[in-house]
Structure 1
């Protein structure tokens, strides 16, 4: 389906790519020129991600968007085309003359114009990030009449899921544990569950991470210095210390999430772990809790693709999803923040209960919308 917009994504990509190609050939450039060039590189990546989603015949979300949402995307794409055209003109002048004065003359002798353009490109980047999150949400469950299911089509039951937050102590551990509880509940009551394995990791944890340099090179001056601590006890209590899933499998899952980690690899699985360069080809879904985490993963994916090529992140794997998208029916994701601290920098069990409730709602919605999970009937008791 073609985009019902005044300008196509491909046309915008073409203009941005012209600017990026020229930017890469320029050796000596002031910071003002370098800044807009870097922004253009980011736009190229985000636009390519957006185009890939639109081209996916199985998940094309456009038919599910409201008219105002489609119009918003068109406006952003048009704005990018205009800004990218201005950048390309400036780069052409610099490349031919190497004169900052001539560049300023072209943009109206306004030294602030380049700063304004840089700010505008940054806003377009944020707009694209929001659009990708929106499109990802509406690609989750397209209308049944647009995608009939063939009875002969094989059903996958080997999906891999990983939850990522900064330090792999609270939210990601809660989500991993909850996914495992749901799996046992579903399978032991005779239902189908398509997730074969669920893990969690911390983007800022050094232990067992082989992409520290990539992460620390991302915008934002992130430092990967998190140590391999055990799961937050209060977070785990908010998940396990209640009447829910009060069956024989619950203690075993809790124990596996809380193991001490100083002897064998099997015992160390519950400790905080960093992410690896293979994350985008090992897992089908990478689930995050905030817009910042979503953007960091996108940028990491971009860096790994540039360093290693397409094999490091196959198109069919490593789909990044903002879990908070399931908490807002209007399409703009709600961040699922870490449990709120009080004035003494302490976190109460009540605050963790609130955060855990949000995570549980979002995880169940993900399973239902993306993988067609059917919740066991009320009162269903596991057979073993």
Structure 2
């Protein structure tokens, strides 16, 4: 990825933000457009900081994008650049009261400018289209930053916080000058929906779903009732046809590599027995509810992704770079076909679960599927290791994104005691 291209895009976006901050008494929709640009800028600056550091240290990230992924990211940046130019022109014309640049027509009073932009020019519809496009671009850009392990590691300094220690020359986002009233305190959400996706919904995705359900029970049944913020957890197979409502879109994807497109399976298969044994046949979370969850997981069969995957779920987890790229491609395809409703704001974040494993900055660990067949003892050992990694990554996600506090030993003991008492009744 060319640093110069990113710097140009960042400069244009920040130029639009600068003029937005100089305009007083903006109509609500225009103000919303300015805030969209500010949010987009945060993600662009993370990418910029990442490229600045790697160029200064003359090193390459271990998560270099493939050629097809780079082409897609360049196209995305070109679209962001075009929108930034349009938004700057819109704010500049509004500030200057310019009706038409080509005809050199200007308004003499600010109220006439507001009238034109709100009624005569039908700009409400035009601005809404731009805002929806920016929302889509920000969502896709965030997915690429996750893939490159950029999102958290190169976060720009925010006003009111201690600045992070950054390498010399690393750039930060401009501080917003426009005062923002403090939002009214709202209770934390407890209805987050998460989906785990692997190719066939028989191994890793089912393991992750089972582990989250176990962690939920341990937290909610702990002494005093732990704070659990996930309302729904499920899993699916990308190349599983049963109950897959995106088969046509998946078949038509422009895959970054030929090997990224796997053969379809019909679905309806039981989970990998060795994988589930690695989850349940041990002393971890050894409480009465564990049997119920095991029975539930053994009774499910493999299924595909729903058509509303990005509108329904807040977080969509995958396990490898290939799976991440395929899921982002599917998001882009559904956006083109279905429009903004396919990916509402702040929904459908595509995350690679290995991002939450302990690692060096700028790296993401892939969680691979253990090789099928061979010695059963070695298969079980491989799944034991994989389950341990998935559980560690899930705990990292819960702590960082859900503000989860793990139950301590006493809390865990109370879980067991409650379970035994309920069993006696």
User: Aligned partners of 2:333, 2:210: CA distance in 1, in Å?
Assistant: 30
Shift, 1:184, TM fit: 0.4
8 Å Cα contact 1:54-1:61 kept in structure 2:
no
Give the direction of change, closer, same or farther, for the CA distance of 1:225–1:10 in structure 2 (3 Å limit).
farther
Match of 1:135 in 2: 150
8 Å Cα contact 1:164-1:286 kept in structure 2:
yes
Which of 342, 347, 363 is the equivalent residue of 2:394?
363
State how 1:301-312 maps to structure 2 within 5 Å.
301-312=331-342
User: Aligned partners of 2:280, 2:288: CA distance in 1, in Å?
Assistant: 13
Give the direction of change, closer, same or farther, for the CA distance of 1:223–1:140 in structure 2 (3 Å limit).
farther
> How many residues were matched structurally?
287
Match of 1:229 in 2: 269
1:210 aligns with 2:245: yes
User: Aligned partners of 2:400, 2:215: CA distance in 1, in Å?
Assistant: 15
State how 1:1-384 maps to structure 2 within 5 Å.
6-9=7-10, 55=39, 60=42, 70-72=52-54, 131-133=145-147, 134-138=149-153, 146=161, 152-189=185-222, 190-218=225-253, 219=255, 220=258, 221-259=261-299, 270-327=300-357, 328-341=359-372, 348-380=379-411, 381-382=414-415, 383-384=418-419
8 Å Cα contact 2:197-2:236 kept in structure 1:
yes
8 Å Cα contact 2:43-2:142 kept in structure 1:
no
User: Aligned partners of 1:226, 1:183: CA distance in 2, in Å?
Assistant: 31
Shift, 1:130, TM fit: 5.7
Q: What is the SS of the residue equivalent to 1:335?
A: coil
Match of 2:130 in 1: none
Q: TM-score, normalised by structure 2?
A: 0.59
User: Aligned partners of 1:302, 1:66: CA distance in 2, in Å?
Assistant: 23
Q: Deviations over 1:274-295 (max 9, x none)?
A: 0011000110000110010000
Give the direction of change, closer, same or farther, for the CA distance of 1:141–1:321 in structure 2 (3 Å limit).
farther
User: Aligned partners of 2:406, 2:340: CA distance in 1, in Å?
Assistant: 37
User: Aligned partners of 1:141, 1:321: CA distance in 2, in Å?
Assistant: 20
8 Å Cα contact 1:137-1:331 kept in structure 2:
no
Give the direction of change, closer, same or farther, for the CA distance of 1:343–1:258 in structure 2 (3 Å limit).
closer
User: Aligned partners of 1:66, 1:7: CA distance in 2, in Å?
Assistant: 10
Q: What is the SS of the residue equivalent to 1:299?
A: helix
8 Å Cα contact 1:166-1:204 kept in structure 2:
yes
Q: What is the SS of the residue equivalent to 1:162?
A: strand
Give the direction of change, closer, same or farther, for the CA distance of 1:10–1:227 in structure 2 (3 Å limit).
farther
Give the CA RMSD over aligned residues. Answer: 3.9
8 Å Cα contact 1:339-1:354 kept in structure 2:
no
Q: Which has the larger radius of gyration?
A: 2
Shift, 1:346, TM fit: 9.1
Q: TM-score, normalised by structure 1?
A: 0.65
Shift, 1:11, TM fit: 5.7
User: Aligned partners of 2:37, 2:389: CA distance in 1, in Å?
Assistant: 27
User: Aligned partners of 1:166, 1:172: CA distance in 2, in Å?
Assistant: 9
User: Aligned partners of 1:215, 1:237: CA distance in 2, in Å?
Assistant: 32
Q: After the TM superposition, which of the residue ranges 337-346 and 157-166 deviates more from structure 2?
A: 337-346
